[in-house]
Amino acid sequence: MSASRSFVHTALPGRVIFGSGTRVKAAEELARLQCSRAFILSGPHGAADARTLHDHLGPQAVGIFTDAVMHTPIEVTERALQNVRTRGADALIALGGGSTTGLAKAIALRTDLPQIVIPTTYAGSEMTTILGETAGGRKTTVRDLKVLPEVVIYDVELTYSLSPALSATSGMNAIAHAVEALYAKDGSPIVSIMATEAIGALARALPAIVANPREETARSDAFYGAWLCGTVLGSVGMALHHKLCHVLGGSFNMPHAETHTVLLPHATAFNGEVVPDKLAPVATLLGGGGPGQGLYDLAQRICAPTSLKELGLPQDALDRAADIAMEQPYWNPRALSRDGIRGLLDDAWHGRRPAH
């Protein structure tokens, strides 16, 4: 193997169960983990499904918390943690989107309890050792094997009720993980293969879901793509796109998936100027010219937001956001400058179609 093909690939441990109706396997997975006192977590929108699961598990479930929220604020984690400890739980079951998964991870970081995650969106964070938490208006991330779920159960049926709008932004959020993996400094051929497969699956699925939210093949393809996106996010480091999303989420409380959706075309076009070869698969899969343009056009096609302005970010926040992003920047393939980031944010705020 030539030096140009040298790489290091670290695969994460974990068990994945994929299919339809698979959520009923939670009981046997608890037994596999030799656990018998599961505490169930969800957000407010998933409370009914969480209670149904609680009833299904019977004596295997000892409590439920349905107040998970975006960006994993530590005050919510502390409230949930108190409930977990009071009930003497020996395992966590998270049923919901990225906010619920984040809460389970935050509790696992503090307790090392095993986790079973049952995702209902395309967030992908269930496949990573990454936890983002918010305190004092700043969102910070850590990587720790303690937060990696032991079991992930993908039940395609749980995504049928995800609205077209949420499906679109959640899917674009997933694609963001795969796009950044293509140029990650610690990438590998295996990661690039998975990322390319994931982008293709989601690009096929999302327009079909928007047209018919209960289309089974499209829902299955989207969940499959999201699983791969999460897997590659767990294998490599993040770059400018994720940094900007963390800044806008943690410091300005911007909606997570929608912010990913709006920023992705612009961050991709920004980096595409220095790594066009690595982003060529994105342009090929999406068409429409450059990779940033293809992502922008996909967002428009699935009726997803394309500007920070429409998400409610005031224009006078852009200067502060650029300053915060430069304070502790993530590694990025293109050299970062405050002016460069400010210009990227301006394009994203106005919703301009990228030039590449």
The residue ranges of every structural domain in the chain are 15-159, 164-350
Indicate the fold that domain 164-350 takes in CATH.
Dehydroquinate synthase-like, alpha domain (1.20.1090)
Confidence grade of residue 1 (pLDDT, cut at 50, 70, 90): very low
pLDDT for 75 equals 97
DSSP of 56-86: HHGGGEEEEE----TT-BHHHHHHHHHHHHH
**pLDDT tens digits for range 112-148:** 999 999 999 998 999 999 999 999 888 888 999 999 9
Average model confidence (pLDDT) across the chain: 95
Distance of alpha carbon 69 from alpha carbon 77, whole angstroms: 10
Instruction: Answer yes or no: is pLDDT of 235 > 60.
Output: yes
Residues with Cβ within 8 Å of residue 52, at least 6 apart in sequence: none
Reported as a single tens digit per residue, the pLDDT across 284-303 is 999 879 999 999 999 999 99
pTM score, whole prediction: 0.93
Q: What is the mean pLDDT of residues 60-87?
A: 97
User: pLDDT for 219-228, tens place per residue?
Assistant: 999 999 999 9
- What does the pLDDT read at residue 95? 98
Q: What is the pLDDT of residue 2?
A: 46
pLDDT digits (tens, 9 = 90+) for 241-255: 999 999 999 899 999
Structure tokens at 234: 């767990």
Amino acid at 90: D
pLDDT of amino acid 4 = 61
> 18 φ, ψ to 5°?
-125, 135
pLDDT of residue 253: 92
Percent of the chain with pLDDT over 70: 99
State the Cα–Cα distance between residues 183 and 181, nearest whole angstrom. Answer: 5
Beta bridge partners of 73: 134
Q: Find, among 173, 134, 133, the residue nearest to 258 by Cα.
A: 173
Q: What is the pLDDT of residue 287?
A: 86
- What pLDDT is stored for residue 8 in this prediction? 86
Of the two residues 210 and 11, the one the predictor is more confident about is: 210
Q: Which backbone phi and psi does 41 adopt, to 5 degrees?
A: -120, 145
- Amino acid 212: pLDDT: 96
What integer pLDDT is reported at residue 325 of this predicted model?
A: 96
Which CATH number is associated with domain 15-159?
3.40.50.1970
Position with higher pLDDT, 141 vs 83 = 83
Instruction: Say what the pLDDT of residue 139 is.
Output: 86
Which helix (H) or strand (E) segment is 131 a member of?
strand 130-135
State pLDDT tens for residues 150-161: 999 999 999 999
Cα angle 207, 211, 217 (rounded to 5 degrees) comes to 70
